[in-house]
Structure formats: structure tokens, C-alpha cells
Amino acid sequence: MVLGVRPHGGYSVVWDGWVQNGVLTAAAAVVGLRAYLVQDKRLDWACIAAGLALYAIGNIVYFAYVQYQASPPAPSAADIPWLACYPFLYVGVFRLARQRGAKIDRLLRIDSIISALGLSALAMTWFTVTLHGTKGSLAAVLTTMAYPVGDLLLMLIVVGSLAVHGWRVDRVWAWLGAGLGLFAAADTIYAVRVATDSYQAGTLLDPIWAVAATLMAIAAWKSQSSIPRTRGNGWAVLLVPTLITVSALALLVMAGHGSGSLPVRVLAAATVLAGLVRAAFTFHTMVSLVRNGVEARTDELSGLRNRRAFLEAVERRIAAGHGQFSIMLIDLDRFKEVNDSLGHIAGDDLLREVGVRLKARMRQGDVLARLGGDEFAILLDNTSTEMAREIGERLRLDLQQAFVKDGMTIYSDASCGVALWPDAADTVGGLLQRADIAMYDAKRERTGTAIYTHADETDLSAPLRLVDELRTALTDNQLVLHFQPKVGLRTAKLEGVEALVRWQHPLKGLLAPDDFLPQAERYGLMRQLTTRVLTLALDQISEWHRAGFDTTVAVNISVSNLLDLELPDQVRTLLEVRKLNPACLMLEVTETTLMADPTRAAELLSRLQAIGVGVSIDDYGTGYSSLARLRELPVNELKLDRSFLLGISRDPRAGAIVRSTVELAHSLGLKLVAEGIETETDEAILRELSCDLGQGYHLARPLPADELLSWVLKRDSVEAPSPATATDPSSRSDQRP
């Protein structure tokens, strides 16, 4: 026997009375218990619990009083709590929709307007048809129609919320939407049957309200995930607003043949107009996407292809598989001297001119790119060993010609490394690795251009052996973390820690980051290494939480991590598995790393911040990023590079720079962290300048996890913090994991 279905029609005291009233009351109690026990979104669920409780009270009134009247009135006393439940449900559902936590795209806002207008037009059409057949007094008609109208308004909130989030449904909204949808379906079917005088108790319709309330109770105990920023593109996103717009257009066509009321015509016309606006914005968005795609593959400084575009070009060339080609890496010699002596502006001008000269020598089929810094890469199509060597020497001669800038003559030179496909390697990573080995061989031997041979690996066996050992270290728990405190300069309290990786080598002992991170970056291990560091850091956070110690941990990410679009999903998974609040993690990225690919970096950082993870710009002041770009970046914190603190107690200009940076950070709503605090005087000056946080040997050196807890207990037990003593240089906070 199905709940509410009996062999004969009619009201059942057991099923329609005790059982269904019990289910409705229990659903309200379950939602109310959730609101009482869980602080998150407490008011939202309390409102929904109140709405369900009022609905249950209406059912109980009907069961205990209305049904026993000889001629039950319409409306009855039960309709008062039934109708009173809607305001509470509106408030609760609206608050949940508002707090879903996504940045809403303009196109998706338009989708929500299209959905609301279109559904209203369709509903108004149905109401007009139904009202013509509804019998009884005006009060009875209005009461009967009030329920589907109220349900429609609730469903508009649900549909609007789904629309502005790209029609993405999480666990809460799947159950809640199903429950509200069943309510709407049951009330609509009931209104139709009442209008046609065909309603009979004891059918499948009766238990739907109890099932709907149960689904809403289940939704209350599901965890609501944060919805990442969604862009309004793709056929899946376009499907719903397109169908609604077409339906509205059909209503307008029908209205042109004499059917349809004035409100229906107005709503349908507004829906079609919104659909046209949506189409115009979609076209504009597609044009922008094409332009952004070009920008994402273009080096901002030189206008050449960037690393991403170059790797894609090599992959396509490998897939083509015919004819020999080679990869050439070009690294400028003594470029750092130009930057240091003439400044970064002169260095940038030199890099642009180098790009122009290299581009002038490219043949048809060749691909030129700037990988970053002073390193360029060329895909040389259809080249033999001797031809590649000849091209390399010709390019070097071009670069040796004097560069003239503002009346100043600059001389440069370059080292070239070449790896041929498929002799050296048959993959993109392998070719770049071999070309890199050849380039460093050319730089070390001062030969200008070097062609990779397999014998070169023997000459460079030490670093390659270290890379192989690092691969083993990543899986054998040889990596450990030390944590350097970030102290509030005005409160003298611990405000967070920075995780710094060390390698506990089985033979060489504890290795500093500089001993292995460059090789990890060069040989493509940085993604795996960052995953390991994140895992260790989050495991340590979990352990600290169980011990009652709550703090934020910062982890550094490199340029290769910023090119990894899977990083946000990976971070979200690591946090969810450990049931950690995303706010406990902050990711630090250097300013120079951001400048390597600003567009892609901004997109990835936006996705990370949507999760709830904090973002910090490390070594601020060294990357020459514009203030406009800084304003656009989704960051929470700036870390002033330690170089700005040198001589701050003696040089008023250094203090002025720090003061202006503090004001800039605070005006953007960001915290400022000063790195490299070495003396008590430095700390006092930074405190006077309203700097928020500090790191450095004067405050504390990087510590293992257990020593950090001891440091915190000791610091909290005294009135003023005692300076930590500096140790070996390997534990400085400017090392990258």
C-alpha cells in the first residue's frame, strides 16, 4: 500500500491525519534542530523551520477541526497558518540564495531575469485559463489560487539563484529545490482539480506535501559548497534561457491571434527583449573570449608568444610527426648586470629589442616565444644539427650588435642550447629539458651554441642525480616543513605562520630550498612538490586543530603552479577531505611570478579566492606591477620585500617608501606584512608606520611544528616577546617551497 492511497477514496484518519501530520511536524522539528545546533546560516534555516511548522499546524487544524464541520468553509481556519508559512519560507530561501558565495557574471544575471519573466508569463497564462473554470466565492477562488502563486514566487527565487550560478546545483539546492518543486506541483494539481471539481482524497496527490517537507528537512543537513565564479558561455548555460525565450515568443504569436491577456503579453514581450539583450551580450562575450585567448598566449612585455603558447605549438608539431625539428633555448648573458646598473625599465627595453631582432630572423614555420625573464625559445622547423648550430650563431651575432637606449650603448650576448626531435627526446618536456642542459653547457663552456647529445647527461650527472633523488623524496616522506611565525606588530600575537619546505636527505642531511627548488622547477617537479607541501601543511593544520591550536598557514606557489588550472580543484579536494575551513590556508605568490602571465594568474587566483583560500603577494615591490593591475587582483595581503627594510632606521627615504606602501595596502583593504625584521629598532619603526604583521629573525626563525607550539606557549607566558636568535641562512623566510 502506498502512503495516502487506499482502495476507496475519502479522508483517512490514520494516513491523511496521524501519519502525514507526524511527517510534517517531524520535518519542521528536524530543520529547527539544525538551526539550533549549527551556527552557520542559522537564521536562514530557522525561517524555513518556522514555515514548515506553520504548514504542519494548518494540517493539524484541518485534521482536528475543519474536517468535522458539516459544511467546511472555504477558506477555512486551516488556510491561515498554511498561507502564513510563505513569508517565512521566502525569507529563508532568499537568504540561502544570497549567501551561495559566488561572484555573479553579468550574463547569468540576465539569465535570471529571463527565467523570472518567462516563467511568470507562462504561469499567468495558466492562471488565466484556470480562473475561468474555478467555482465558488471570490474568497474561495483567491485562496485556492494563492497557493500555486506563492509556490511560483518561491520557485522564481530558486530558478533565479540557479541561473546566476550557471545552473550549477550543489547538495543543498538539489534537495531544497526538489522539495519546493514538489510543493508547487502538488498545489498546482490540487488547484486544477478543485477548479474542475475532480479532487478526491486518498490519491497519490495527498502524500506529496509530506514528501516535499521531508526533502527540505534532508537539505537542511547537507553541506552547502561554495560555487566558483561561472562565466556565461557554453551551450549548457544557454539552453534554459533560450527555451524560455522561445516559449515567450510563442505566447506573443498566440497573443497576435487574439489569445492571451494584457499581463501575459507584457511579460512575454519583456522576456523576448531580455533574450535579445542576452544574445547581444553573448556575442560581445565571445569576441572578448577570443581576444582574451590571444592575450593569454601572448607575453605582455615583448608581444611574442608566451610559455603556454610555445608548449602548445611544440605539442602540435610533435603530433604532426613528419620532418625533423629542434627546440632552441636562448638565454642572455649578464642580463642581471643591466637590470642592476641601469634599472628594470632599461632591462625591459632590452628584452623588447631582443624580441624584435630574433623575430626578424624567423623563417616560415618557426615559432618564437619568451618563456620568462631573459629566456627565449624557438621551434626551428625542418632543421638538421648543423643548420640549427648555424642559426644559433647567426642569432648570437645579431644580439651582439649594440643596443642604443636614450643615448646609452648597451652590449649583450647570449647562449643557445639546441635539442633535436626525436633524437634528443620525443616529448615537449624532454626537449625543453635537453635544450636547457645544452644551453647551460654552452654558458659554462663559453661555446655560444651547444647541441644536446646523450653524453651531456654524463657531464651533468650530479644535478640530474639530485633530481632523481628528489622524485624519490616526494614519495618517501623525506620532505619536512618548518614554520616561521607572522606576528601582529601592534598586538605582539601570532597571526599566522609560513610553511617553508626542507629536504631531509638520507646522506646529505637537511637541505635548504635553494639546494633543490631550482631543479624541481627546471625539470617539471614543482607541481608534484607543491602538492606534497600542501598535503603536509594541511595535515599539520588538522593536527594542530585537534590539539586546540588554531592558526593560518601560508604556502608558496611558483610560476608553474600558476599555469596549472587544476590547482584550485586540487586545493578544494585537499581541504574537503580534511574537513578544514578554507580560510585556514593562504597561498603566497611572488609579484614577479604574477607578471609572467598576468591574465592567467588573475583567473586562477579568482578561482582560489572563490573557494575561500587567502591569497598573498610575496616580495611586493620587486616585480614592477602597475597599481591598476594590483587593484584588479583578488588578494588579501601584501608582503613587502626585505630589501625595503635595509637601512630603514638610518634612511628617511626607506621609511617613506614603507609608509606609502602601508597606506596603499590599507586603502585597498589589504594587510601588509614586512619581511626580514632583524632588529628591535626595525620592529618599532614598522609599528609606528602602522604595518600590520612582521616576519624575521628578531621575531622568530623558522621552527619545526613541535618547537613552534613551544614558542607560542613561551611567548604567551611573558608580557613582551623575546627575540629569537638567528641561525643558519637556510632557514630564512624568503625561501620558496
Q: Which residue has the cell 553541506?
A: 223
Report whether pLDDT(416) > 70: yes
State whether residue 272 is helix, strand or coil.
helix
Last residue of a domain, one of 403, 432, 459: 459
Q: Is 210 left (phi over 0), alpha (psi -120 to 50) or beta?
A: alpha
| Tally of domains in the chain | 3
Kindly state whether residues 443 and 536 are assigned to the same domain.
Answer: no
Q: Which residues of 166-193 are buried (b: 16+ CB within 10 A; e: fewer)?
A: bbebbebbebbbbbbbbbbebbbbbbbe
Structural domain includes residue 239: no
623 Cβ neighbours under 8 A, 6+ residues apart: 590, 591, 592, 593, 594, 595
Kindly state whether residues 133 and 216 are assigned to the same domain.
Answer: yes
Q: What ranges in 343-427 are assigned the alpha helix state H?
A: 344-360, 385-400
> What is the pLDDT of the chain when averaged over all its residues?
79
Kindly state whether residues 404 and 478 are assigned to the same domain.
Answer: no
DSSP run (H or E) holding 485: strand 479-488
Give residue 165's domain range: 13-230
Nearest C-alpha neighbor of 617 from the set 683, 571, 663, 562 = 562
As a whole-number percent, the residues of the chain with pLDDT over 90 amount to 20
Report whether pLDDT(726) > 50: no
pLDDT band at 237 (very low <50, low <70, confident <90, very high): low
CATH of residue 374's domain is: 3.30.70.270
What single string gives the DSSP state of each residue in 6-28?
-SS-S--IIIIIIIHHHHHHHHH
Report whether pLDDT(609) > 80: yes
Q: What confidence tens digit (pLDDT) does each residue in 574-607 have? A: 999 999 999 999 999 887 667 656 677 788 888 9
Kindly state whether residues 647 and 565 are assigned to the same domain.
Answer: yes
Q: What confidence tens digit (pLDDT) does each residue in 644-681 have? A: 787 787 878 878 888 888 888 888 888 999 988 888 89
Report whether pLDDT(324) > 70: yes
Kindly state whether residues 681 and 590 are assigned to the same domain.
Answer: yes
Lowest mean pLDDT of 79-83, 220-224, 633-637, 722-726, name the range. Answer: 722-726
Last residue of a domain, one of 167, 198, 230: 230
Q: Which residue has the cell 650588435?
A: 401
Q: What confidence tens digit (pLDDT) does each residue in 118-135 have? A: 766 766 666 665 555 555
Lowest mean pLDDT of 232-241, 253-262, 326-335, 513-522, name the range. Answer: 232-241
State whether residue 586 is helix, strand or coil.
strand
Nearest C-alpha neighbor of 342 from the set 415, 414, 401, 406 = 406
CATH of residue 604's domain is: 3.20.20.450
pLDDT band at 369 (very low <50, low <70, confident <90, very high): very high
Kindly state whether residues 343 and 385 are assigned to the same domain.
Answer: yes
Q: What confidence tens digit (pLDDT) does each residue in 468-524 have? A: 888 888 888 899 999 999 999 988 889 999 999 999 988 888 988 888 887 787 777
pLDDT at 19: 87
DSSP state of 205: T
Nearest C-alpha neighbor of 589 from the set 570, 610, 609, 573 = 609
Structural domain includes residue 289: no
Spatial distance between the Cα atoms of 484 and 461, rounded to a whole number of angstroms = 34
Spatial distance between the Cα atoms of 455 and 441, rounded to a whole number of angstroms = 12
pLDDT band at 54 (very low <50, low <70, confident <90, very high): very high
Structural domain includes residue 357: yes
DSSP state of 486: E
Structural domain includes residue 334: yes
DSSP state of 511: E
Q: Which one has a higher pLDDT value, 716 or 483?
A: 483
End-to-end CA, the chain: 64
pLDDT at 119: 65
Spatial distance between the Cα atoms of 627 and 625, rounded to a whole number of angstroms = 7
Structural domain includes residue 414: yes
What single string gives the DSSP state of each residue in 417-448?
EEEEETTT-SSHHHHHHHHHHHHHHHHHHT-S
Is the separation of the CB atoms in 251 and 275 below 8 Å? no
pLDDT band at 453 (very low <50, low <70, confident <90, very high): confident
Spatial distance between the Cα atoms of 248 and 292, rounded to a whole number of angstroms = 34
CB atoms within 10 A of CB 440: 19
pLDDT at 733: 38
As a whole-number percent, the residues of the chain with pLDDT over 70 amount to 75
Kindly state whether residues 191 and 315 are assigned to the same domain.
Answer: no
Structural domain includes residue 272: no
Structural domain includes residue 428: yes
Q: Among the ranges 144-158, 301-315, 477-491, which has the highest mean pLDDT value?
A: 477-491
Cα Rg for the chain, rounded, in angstroms?
Answer: 34
pLDDT band at 102 (very low <50, low <70, confident <90, very high): very low
Cell for 626? 602597475
pLDDT at 242: 72
Which amino acid makes up residue 615? Answer: V
Is the separation of the CB atoms in 205 and 186 below 8 Å? yes
327, β-bridge pairs: 379, 419
What single string gives the DSSP state of each residue in 30-55?
HHHHHHHH--TTHHHHHHHHHHHHHH
Cell for 607? 578561482
pLDDT band at 721 (very low <50, low <70, confident <90, very high): very low
State whether residue 157 is helix, strand or coil.
helix
Last residue of a domain, one of 431, 459, 487: 459
Chain centroid to CA 59: 45
Kindly state whether residues 452 and 479 are assigned to the same domain.
Answer: no
State whether residue 116 is helix, strand or coil.
helix
Find the angle CA(173)-CA(179)-CA(184) to the nearest 5 degrees.
Answer: 120
CB atoms within 10 A of CB 225: 16
Kindly state whether residues 663 and 551 are assigned to the same domain.
Answer: yes
Spatial distance between the Cα atoms of 655 and 630, rounded to a whole number of angstroms = 22
Kindly state whether residues 514 and 578 are assigned to the same domain.
Answer: yes
CB atoms within 10 A of CB 473: 21
Alpha-carbon distances, residue 229 vs 40, 115, 167, 607 (angstroms): 22, 20, 12, 7
Q: What confidence tens digit (pLDDT) does each residue in 17-49 have? A: 788 889 999 999 999 999 999 888 889 899 999
pLDDT at 32: 92
Structural domain includes residue 319: yes
Kindly state whether residues 618 and 500 are assigned to the same domain.
Answer: yes
Lowest mean pLDDT of 37-41, 140-144, 455-459, name the range. Answer: 455-459
Kindly state whether residues 225 and 321 are assigned to the same domain.
Answer: no
